[in-house]
Structure 1
Amino acid sequence: MPRRRPGRIRAGIPDRHQSQNSRPVIDRLSSRALSEIVRLERTRNYLQPGDTSAALRLWKDYVHRPERELWHDDEFGNVHWYCCGDPLEGRALLDGVIRAMSPRGARELRKIIEELDAFMGPPYPATDRRR
């Protein structure tokens, strides 16, 4: 029986370094906090790998919209976030991740999210109420 070449055998085995490419990319987070997010995404049933970074990216894009309008239905009843993701659900997911993290990691992620929230401003101006 002919022997299979080692390179042929290794080609069928997934490279463990390739699976680490799915690590979340979140600027200004320490490697410790990123590792904790990866662990949470593997162990929690409500998270998939990459959900946290996708939710943060979605929230960041929503906050930095120039008009800062809520997304509306079009005339056919389709909602934009069916294809792109709901930024408000992404923000809720980020709150869940913060609650599941250790205090140190949660503090780092909370700081980033609070900066985005501050950029957006208050949802309703309390001082300018005209009737």
Structure 2
Amino acid sequence: MPRRRPSAVRAATPVRVRPSRHPRPRPRIGRISAGCAADIRRLEHRRFSPGDTDSVFRYWAALAHGPLAHLTRDVDACGIAGCGCDPGYFRDHLEQVLHALPTRSARELRALLHDLDAVILRRARVLPYSSPDVPWWKEWF
């Protein structure tokens, strides 16, 4: 009887995958390093809810690349944080995350935010301006 190839033996054995006892949600923000993702995960464990930074970043990216009407319409904020009617809340949350992260991770995330901010500012064309102490997204939204 001929001997079976090792690949045939391995193919016949079932793969055993152990479920993690403590599944950790990983930030799915694109183009960030594993170290930055770990820092965001630790920060969310201490200060925010898991996955908050990812959802807020995705909202800000959708605002930057979405329809121009979303950038130019008048926004009536209802006062509920995170409901989606006040885009400035999302940018404020990202700013809090940037200030709480270690320097290297904050620099990496700030570079991604800078690109999105540039897209929003380029598409908006006109921004109200009142004070250099107030961030642009608080004046605009």
Task: Report the TM-score when normalising by structure 1.
Answer: 0.67
Residue equivalent to 1:55: 56
Return the index of the structure with the highest Cα Rg: 2
Going from structure 1 to structure 2, the CA distance change for 1:85 and 1:37 (only over 3 Å counts) comes to farther
Whether the 8 Å contact between 1:59 and 1:91 is mirrored in structure 2 is yes
1:35 and 2:61 aligned: no
Matched to 2:102, the amino acid is S
Query: Structure 1: any 5+ residue segments left out of the alignment?
Result: 1-13, 127-131
Whether the 8 Å contact between 2:26 and 2:41 is mirrored in structure 1 is yes
- Paired with 2:121 and 2:43, the residues of 1 have a C-alpha distance of 30
RMSD (Å), alpha carbons: 2.8
How many residue pairs align between the two structures?
A: 105
Going from structure 1 to structure 2, the CA distance change for 1:84 and 1:125 (only over 3 Å counts) comes to closer
Query: Structure 2: any 5+ residue segments left out of the alignment?
Result: 1-18, 129-141
Indicate the SS of the match to 2:29: coil
Indicate the SS of the match to 1:29: coil
Going from structure 1 to structure 2, the CA distance change for 1:71 and 1:25 (only over 3 Å counts) comes to farther
Task: Report the TM-score when normalising by structure 2.
Answer: 0.63
- In the TM superposition, residue 24 of structure 1 has moved relative to its aligned partner by 1.1
Going from structure 1 to structure 2, the CA distance change for 1:82 and 1:50 (only over 3 Å counts) comes to closer
Deviates more, 1:84-93 or 1:50-59: 84-93
- Structure 1 vs Structure 2: percent identity of aligned residues? 36
Whether the 8 Å contact between 1:58 and 1:85 is mirrored in structure 2 is no
- In the TM superposition, residue 90 of structure 1 has moved relative to its aligned partner by 1.1
- In the TM superposition, residue 39 of structure 1 has moved relative to its aligned partner by 0.3
Q: Deviations over 1:44-68 (max 9, x none)?
A: 1xx1000000010011111112222
Residue equivalent to 1:23: 26
- In the TM superposition, residue 15 of structure 1 has moved relative to its aligned partner by 3.5
